[in-house]
Amino acid sequence: LVLILDFGSQYTHLITRRIRALSVFSLCISGTSSLSSITSLNPKVVILSGGPHSVHSDDSPSFPDGFVDWALSNGVFVLGICYGLQLIVQRLGGEVRMGKKQEYGRMEIEVVKSCGIFGYKDVGDNQVVWMSHGDEAARLPVGFEVVARSEQGAVAAVEDINRRFYGLQYHPEVTHSPEGMETLRYFLFNVCGVNAGWKMEDVMDEELKVINNTVAPDDHVICALSGGVDSTVAATLVHKAIGDRLHCIFVDNGLLRYKERERVMETFKSDLHLPVTCVNASDQFLSKLKGVVDPEMKRKIIGKEFIFIFDAFAQELEQKLKKKPAFLVQGTLYPDVIESCPPPGSGRTHSHTIKSHHNVGGLPKDMKLKLIEPLKLLFKDEVRELGKILKVPEGFLKRHPFPGPGLAVRVLGDVTEGNALDIVRQVDEIFIQSIKDAGIYDSIWQAFAVFLPIKSVGVQGDQRTHSYVVTLRAVTSQDGMTADWYCFENSFLKDVSQKICNNVRGVNRVTLDITSKPPSTIEWE
């Protein structure tokens, strides 16, 4: 195991992912974790991440007392990156000072010693790296040597081979450091002697074992399927482990996309053989949403109604089985786990603070169900890989994300107004189908249509019309936290607009959203 101690850098997840990409299992925990939580994981290598602090500020986070002695007496290799290097220097008796010149962005460094972490380089070799620091190592602890310097003469890499402590002042994990991956590979395999061999098949086998050890032979498990990748892969995995003692529910809340219920139920049943109860609760949701225009209120109503239905499902199941279901499956992913406990002072908060997101996660607390979260150590692309092994159809695994409150946040204002839901469904279907036909679906993070509750004047078939306006939104993004609007070809936009106006009754104007996030959010509500 390679353990990453997170000191708040925006790149920390990337270190974890880069190492996993080298087929080495890596985990990330808060940099201020206790010594026992670090030692209980028994890592062979510990990487100290970067972070926004100066080691001199009062609230600067650091590894726990006893960490250095533990690493030394257990033969653990320690690599500090940026702030991590400065922590090593300071805590081992050297000195860190504000640099004469700050170094931000692309920079050249030169190897001054061909040994240890740069054992595969010659003295005098240059490489471009990504720097982002104000402080620098001014005096090294006894036993440490400089192995690379920046073009400004600042310390860029240090090591104490005998004590197995290493430090890089730059960020090898970002693509702006083109040789960074090579350096990490050399460090892990040649310097630390780590073995590659972490495979998704092994992850699956391990998770199946854990599920079987957790769920007793007469226990039953429930799962709410949203139609998204995470809950589907989680349910498929649990189903593989315990078969039909898994009971899934899929709720049609009347806010789904065009033919969504039919499409996902077909995949659940025919492709994945999941035991799913489909509840059509459209009327129930829509009657509660009638007249509601406040976006947060809409979300709350939808969340409450969902819990109500889920509760009824669990009670019915209990009566049928004559036994309470004991577990609940959730498709929690690793970024959610890391984001929910960021290191103090990192400035990072849980990702979902701008809108009160609730998806199938917001379930009754008094049900006393124990959680099974088989994906909680995986990143999204790893979940897709696992889904592939579990034979979840490829098209399904590549679906764009869809928000829990569904079309309620894509129809501005009252969702029950006129035929707004029908209009947005038809427009969305034409837009998405055109995107698929153009072969650009996989280059887009999310694309959808939004219904605007305003009418404009038009002319169709020699008739003056007074009809609705819709807008199209498509964005690229890494994780949904920030996003850029997608640049379509003009000819594509021309075709789509024409198709929409020709085929969707009640629409005479199509607009395009050309705002990034920030300042906008991806959804319109």
220 is catalytic: no
171 is catalytic: yes
Kindly tell me which of 161 and 481 has the beta carbon lying closer to ligand XMP. 481
- DSSP-derived letter for residue 191 is I
Q: In the complex, what is the shortest distance from the CB of residue 441 to ligand XMP, in angstroms, rounded to a whole number? A: 15
Kindly tell me which of 41 and 354 has the beta carbon lying closer to ligand XMP. 354
- Apex 335 CA angle, 194 and 302, nearest 5: 155
R_g (Cα) of the chain, nearest Å = 27
Does 297 bind ligand XMP (CB under 6 A)? Our answer is no
Does 240 bind ligand XMP (CB under 6 A)? Our answer is no
d(CA 247, CA 323): 13
Kindly tell me which of 495 and 523 has the beta carbon lying closer to ligand XMP. 523
Identify residues 488-517 at the interface with ligand XMP (CB under 6 A). 517
Does 518 bind ligand XMP (CB under 6 A)? Our answer is no
d(CA 308, CA 300): 12
Name the residue with tokens 């070809």. Answer: 489
Does 177 bind ligand XMP (CB under 6 A)? Our answer is no
Among the options 103, 136, 159, 173, which is catalytic? 173
Q: How far does Cα 445 stand from its chain's mean position?
A: 12
Q: In the complex, what is the shortest distance from the CB of residue 299 to ligand XMP, in angstroms, rounded to a whole number? A: 5
Does 416 bind ligand XMP (CB under 6 A)? Our answer is no
Among residues 61, 80, 94, 403, the one that binds ligand XMP under rule CB under 6 A: 403
Among the options 13, 133, 171, 358, which is catalytic? 171
Among residues 375, 404, 426, 496, the one that binds ligand XMP under rule CB under 6 A: 404
Q: In the complex, what is the shortest distance from the CB of residue 52 to ligand XMP, in angstroms, rounded to a whole number? A: 23
d(CA 401, CA 398): 9
The answer to the question of whether 232 is labelled as a binding residue is: yes
Kindly tell me which of 102 and 521 has the beta carbon lying closer to ligand XMP. 521
Does 149 bind ligand XMP (CB under 6 A)? Our answer is no
Q: How far does Cα 19 stand from its chain's mean position?
A: 17
Does 355 bind ligand XMP (CB under 6 A)? Our answer is yes
Does 263 bind ligand XMP (CB under 6 A)? Our answer is no
Among residues 342, 480, 492, 513, the one that binds ligand XMP under rule CB under 6 A: 480
82 is catalytic: yes
Q: In the complex, what is the shortest distance from the CB of residue 513 to ligand XMP, in angstroms, rounded to a whole number? A: 12
Tell me how crowded residue 407 is: count the other CB atoms within 10 A of its CB.
Answer: 25
Kindly tell me which of 359 and 467 has the beta carbon lying closer to ligand XMP. 359
Does 455 bind ligand XMP (CB under 6 A)? Our answer is no
Does 299 bind ligand XMP (CB under 6 A)? Our answer is yes
SS3 402: coil
Q: In the complex, what is the shortest distance from the CB of residue 408 to ligand XMP, in angstroms, rounded to a whole number? A: 9
Burial 216-250 (b: 16+ CB within 10 A, else e): eeeebbbbbbbbbbbbbbbbbbbbbbbeebbbbbb
Residue 306 and residue 360 in contact, taking contact as beta carbons nearer than 8 Å: yes
Residue 500 and residue 450 in contact, taking contact as beta carbons nearer than 8 Å: no
DSSP string, 338-397: HHTSPPTTS----S--SS---STT---GGG-PEEE-TTTT--HHHHHHHHHHTT--HHHH
Cis preceding linkage at 518, omega within 30? yes
Structure tokens that stand for 271 in this block: 């492709």
Q: Which stretch binds ligand XMP (CB under 6 A): 288-296, 350-358, 363-371, 390-398?
A: 350-358
The answer to the question of whether 229 is labelled as a binding residue is: yes
DSSP H helices, 163-294, are 180-185, 200-214, 229-242, 260-266, 282-289
Does 224 bind ligand XMP (CB under 6 A)? Our answer is no
Does 380 bind ligand XMP (CB under 6 A)? Our answer is no
The answer to the question of whether 406 is labelled as a binding residue is: no
Crossing angle for the helix pair 380-389 and 200-214, nearest 10 degrees? 80
The answer to the question of whether 230 is labelled as a binding residue is: yes
Q: Which stretch binds ligand XMP (CB under 6 A): 195-203, 232-240, 280-288, 400-408?
A: 400-408
**Residues within the annotated binding site for ATP?**
226-232
Interface residues toward ligand XMP, by CB under 6 A: 299, 354-355, 357, 359, 401, 403-405, 409, 446, 480, 517, 521-523
Q: Which residues are catalytic?
A: 82, 171, 173
